[in-house]
Structure 1
Amino acid sequence: MITHIVCFKLKDNSAESVARTAQVLRDMEDKIEELKSIEVGTDILHSERSYDIALITKFESMEALEAYQVHPVHKKVIEHMLQVREASVSVDFES
C-alpha cells in the first residue's frame, strides 16, 4: 500500500475558502478507481507553522498512484489547487 500525503497552505485561509477547497478535494472520492481511501482534514491549531489542509490518500501500488496523478478528475483538482494554494508539501511512503 502507498500512502500519499499533501499539505496545502492557501493564499486565502478564511474559513470559507478552506472549506470550499477541502470539499474540492473530498469530491474525488468514488470518482477515481485507483484511489482506495481519502481523508481530508483542516487545521485546527492555526499556528505560525500550520498548513491549512491535509490530504491523505492510499493506493494499492506505485502504478495506481501514477494513474491517479494523470486521471482527469485529479487534473481538475490540480487546476483548482494551482489557483488557491500558496505552498504545498508532500510525502509518499509504503504502508
Structure 2
Amino acid sequence: MFTHIVFFKLKEATEDNLKKASGILNSMEGKIPQLKQLEVGVDVVKNDRSFDIALITRFDSKEDYEIYAVSDYHVNEVLKNLKPLLEVSKTVDFV
C-alpha cells in the first residue's frame, strides 16, 4: 500500500472556503480507479503549527499514485478548483 498525505493551508480559512476545499477533495471518491482510500480532515486545533486541511489517500502501488497524480479528474477538477484557494501545501509519501 502506498500512502500520500497532503497538508493544505488556505489563503483565507473561512468556514465557506474550508467547506469548499473539503468538498473538492472529497469529490474524488469513486472517480479515480487507482484511488483506493480517501480521507479528508479539517483542523480543529487551529494553532500556529496547524495546517487547515489534511488529505490522506492510499493506492495499491507508487505507480498507481503516479497515474492518479496526472489523471484528468485530479488535474482538471481537483487541482484547477483547489489551487486558487491555497496559500501552500506540503506532502508526505510512504510505503
TM band (smaller chain): over 0.9
Identity of aligned residues (%): 44
| CA distance in structure 1 between the partners assigned to 2:60 and 2:53 by the alignment | 24
- Please list, as runs of the form range in 1=range in 2, the aligned pairs for 1:1-95 lying within 5 A after superposition: 1-75=1-75, 76-94=77-95
Question: Which amino acid in the other structure matches residue 92 of structure 1?
Answer: D
RMSD: 0.7
Q: How many residues align?
A: 94
Offset at residue 81 of structure 1 (A): 2.2
Tell me by how many angstroms 1:48 deviates: 1.1
**Structure 1 gaps, min length 5:** none
3-state DSSP class of the match of 2:81?
helix
Instruction: Name the CA distance, whole Å, in 2 between partners of 1:83 and 1:23.
Output: 14
1:53 Cα offset (Å): 0.4
CA contact (8 A) 2:24 2:82 kept: no
The runs of 4+ residues in structure 1 deviating greater than 2 Å are: none
Alignment deviations for residues 52-83 of structure 1 (CA, whole Å, 9 cap, x no partner): 00000000001100000011110021112221
Q: Which range moves more in the overlay, 32-41 or 13-22?
A: 13-22
Q: Which consecutive unaligned segments of at least 5 residues does structure 2 have?
A: none
